[in-house]
Amino acid sequence: MIGYVTIGTNDMEKAKAFWSTLLEPVGAKVLMDLGRIAFIGEGMNKPMLAVCTPADGKAATPGNGNMLAFPAGSREKVDELHARALGLGATDEGAPGARMPTFYGGYFRDPEGNKAVFFHMG
């Protein structure tokens, strides 16, 4: 259903390095880099994350209420990927843990303030 989600950046090289390194354990890499926008994912036929500099030339800012959610596959993988994000310069927005009976998630903000979660259902 989702082809890709785009988040803004003020530093393309830093954003590409953060997200591609963070998501490498789940098979993601930079698939296409067009200068002001880069697509990161497992393949062009799967959902992707795009990082880009805003087309209007203004500064990129994180959205209020926006969040990226990445399935991790297990609680252990949530823990691992959350720790990896923090090790790459992200800030903690909620340590991994059960949020409801069937949802386990670890929240963080990337170096530019975009909120994300690695999660496992079940």
Angle at 11 between CA 6 and CA 16, to 5 degrees: 60
Residue 115: band (very low, low, confident or very high) from pLDDT cuts 50, 70, 90: very high
For position 37, what pLDDT does the model report?
97
Residue 64: band (very low, low, confident or very high) from pLDDT cuts 50, 70, 90: confident
pLDDT at 74 over 90: yes
Identify whether residues 86 and 106 lie together within a single domain. yes
- Rounded Cα distance between 83 and 93, Å, is 12
User: CATH number for the domain including 105?
Assistant: 3.10.180.10
Identify whether residues 17 and 49 lie together within a single domain. yes
In which element (H, E) is residue 110 found? none
pTM, two decimals, is 0.93
- Rounded Cα distance between 80 and 72, Å, is 9
Average confidence (pLDDT) over 101-120: 97
Identify whether residues 40 and 71 lie together within a single domain. no
Which residues span the domain enclosing 84?
66-122
Residue 1: band (very low, low, confident or very high) from pLDDT cuts 50, 70, 90: confident
| Model pLDDT for residues 91-100, shown as the tens digit of each residue | 999 999 999 9
